[in-house]
C-alpha cells in the first residue's frame, strides 16, 4: 500500500515538469506588427461647429418700462455634434439685469444622442433681463423683450448659431396662456448674427479681432391702440373742448373766460405729469409730449384771444369781438388738428 502512495506522488511531481517541457517544445507564435495604417484616425469635426438653437418662452413677468427691465422664464435647446463642446454651459446671456438672480437648470445630466447622431440639451433659464425701451412713439410704441445669448468661449471661428428650422412649432414659440396687463404680444422671433467687439480682451494670441455668434430671442409687445387712445387722449380732448367753449362766452365776461382757460391749463399740466409718472426718464420728447405742447399752445392762444377781445368789449364792440372769437376758434382748431396729425404721422415713421 505504501508502494502505491509513493508511485502516485511520483507521478504528480512529474506532471508539471512534463507540461512545462511540452510548452517549451511548442512553436512560438510570431508577434503581430501593428502599423499606423491599422489604427483608425481620430474623429475630426468641421469648424466652426454649427450649434442649432431654439427657444420656448414659458412666461413673462414684471415688465417695468420705467427701469427698462422684465423677467423671462424660457426653455432653450441646443443640438451639435462635437462631444468636446458643452454649448449649454458656455452660452451667456449678455443683457442680464441681475446676473446673480438668474437660474439655469439643465433638463438632463448629460447630452442626449439624437437619431441623426447629434447631441441634444435643453435648459430652463429664469431671470431678469434689460433692454432700453425707445419711447419716441409712446403710447403707440412697439417694444422688444430681448434675451441675447452668446457663446462666452469661442468666437465665430469655433462656434456659430443656426436656427432650428426642423422644430415643428418653429425655432421660437411662446406659451399662449401668457397674459401681460396693458400689453399685447406679437409673434416672437429669433435673430442670429455675428456680434463684433472692438477689442481682443487682452488676448495676445489673437492677431485679428473676431466677432462672436449671438442669438437674440425677441418677444415684441405693443399697447392696445383703442384703449390706450381713450385713456390718454380722451382727457386731453376734454380739456381742449372746455378751453374751446371760452369762445362762446360773451366777451364782456372777461374774468370768467380767463378763469376757464387758466383752469384748463392747470388741468393739462396735471394730466401730463400723471401720464409720464410710469415712464422712464428720457432726454427726448415723446409723442404725447409733443401733443401736450400743442395743447399748451392752443390754451395760450385762447388766453391771448380773450385778452384781445377784452379791449373790444371795453369799448362795447361786442359783435366785432364775437366774430373775432369765431375766426380764432376755427383757426386754432384747424392748426391743432393739423399739428396732431403731423406729430402722429412723423412719429410713426
Over residues 27-72, the pLDDT tens digits come to 554 555 545 555 566 666 778 899 999 999 999 988 988 889 999 9
CATH code for 226-347?
1.20.58.390
Q: What is the pTM of this model?
A: 0.76
Confidence of residue 82 (pLDDT cuts 50, 70, 90): very high
Query: Is pLDDT at 157 greater than 50 in this prediction?
Result: yes
Concatenate the DSSP letters of all residues of 120-180 into one string.
Answer: EEEEEEEEEEE-PPP-TTTTS-EEEEEEEEEESS--TTTEEEEE-TT-TT-SEEE-TT---
Integer angstrom CA distances of residue 169 from 52, 220, 264, 323, 336: 15, 18, 54, 67, 48
The pLDDT value given to residue 18? 47
Equal fold, 49-223 vs 226-347: no
The pLDDT value given to residue 13? 52
Average pLDDT over residues 311-316: 75
What is the residue extent of each domain of the chain?
Answer: 49-223, 226-347
Concatenate the DSSP letters of all residues of 34-99 into one string.
Answer: P-GGGSPPPP---SSEEEEEEEEEEEEEEEETTTTEEEEEEEEEEEES-TT--HHHHEEETTBS-G
CATH code for 49-223?
2.70.170.10
Confidence of residue 24 (pLDDT cuts 50, 70, 90): very low
Cell (9 digits) for 262: 387758466
The pLDDT value given to residue 37? 56
Cell (9 digits) for 182: 396693458
The pLDDT value given to residue 14? 47
- Percent of the chain scoring above 90 in pLDDT: 45
Query: Is pLDDT at 22 greater than 60 in this prediction?
Result: no
Higher pLDDT, 225 or 68: 68
The pLDDT value given to residue 41? 62
Query: Is pLDDT at 168 greater than 80 in this prediction?
Result: no
Amino acid at each position: 500500500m505504501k508502494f502505491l502512495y509513493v508511485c502516485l506522488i511520483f507521478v504528480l511531481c512529474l506532471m508539471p515538469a512534463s507540461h512545462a517541457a511540452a510548452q517549451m517544445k511548442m512553436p512560438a507564435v510570431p508577434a503581430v506588427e501593428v502599423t499606423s495604417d491599422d489604427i483608425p484616425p481620430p474623429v475630426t469635426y468641421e469648424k466652426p461647429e454649427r450649434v442649432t438653437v431654439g427657444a420656448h418662452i414659458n412666461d413673462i413677468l414684471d415688465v417695468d418700462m420705467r427701469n427698462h427691465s422684465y423677467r423671462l422664464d424660457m426653455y432653450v435647446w441646443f443640438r451639435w455634434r462635437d462631444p468636446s463642446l458643452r454649448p449649454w454651459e458656455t452660452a451667456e446671456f449678455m443683457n442680464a439685469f441681475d446676473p446673480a438672480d438668474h437660474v439655469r437648470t439643465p433638463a438632463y445630466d448629460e447630452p442626449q444622442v439624437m437619431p441623426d447622431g447629434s447631441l441634444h440639451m435643453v435648459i430652463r433659464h429664469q431671470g431678469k433681463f434689460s433692454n432700453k425701451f425707445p419711447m419716441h412713439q409712446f403710447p403707440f410704441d412697439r417694444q422688444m423683450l430681448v434675451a441675447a445669448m452668446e457663446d462666452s468661449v469661442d468666437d465665430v471661428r469655433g462656434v456659430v448659431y443656426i436656427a432650428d428650422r426642423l422644430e415643428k412649432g418653429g425655432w421660437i414659440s411662446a406659451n399662449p396662456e401668457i397674459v401681460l396687463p396693458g400689453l399685447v404680444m406679437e409673434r416672437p422671433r429669433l435673430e442670429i448674427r455675428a456680434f463684433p467687439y472692438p477689442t481682443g480682451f487682452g488676448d495676445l494670441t489673437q492677431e485679428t479681432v473676431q466677432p462672436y455668434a449671438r442669438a437674440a430671442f425677441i418677444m415684441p409687445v405693443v399697447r392696445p391702440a383703442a384703449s390706450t387712445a381713450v385713456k390718454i387722449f380722451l382727457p386731453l380732448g376734454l380739456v381742449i373742448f372746455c378751453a374751446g367753449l371760452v369762445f362762446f362766452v360773451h366777451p364782456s365776461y372777461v374774468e370768467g373766460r380767463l378763469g376757464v382757460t387758466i383752469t384748463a391749463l392747470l388741468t393739462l399740466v396735471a394730466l401730463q405729469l400723471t401720464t409720464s409718472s410710469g415712464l422712464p426718464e428720457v432726454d427726448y420728447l415723446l409723442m404725447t409730449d409733443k401733443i401736450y405742447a400743442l395743447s399748451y399752445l392752443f390754451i395760450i392762444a385762447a388766453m391771448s384771444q380773450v385778452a384781445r377781445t377784452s379791449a373790444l368789449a371795453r369799448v362795447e364792440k361786442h359783435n366785432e369781438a364775437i366774430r373775432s372769437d369765431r375766426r380764432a376758434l376755427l383757426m386754432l382748431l384747424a392748426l391743432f388738428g393739423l399739428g396732431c396729425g403731423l406729430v402722429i404721422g412723423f412719429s410713426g415713421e
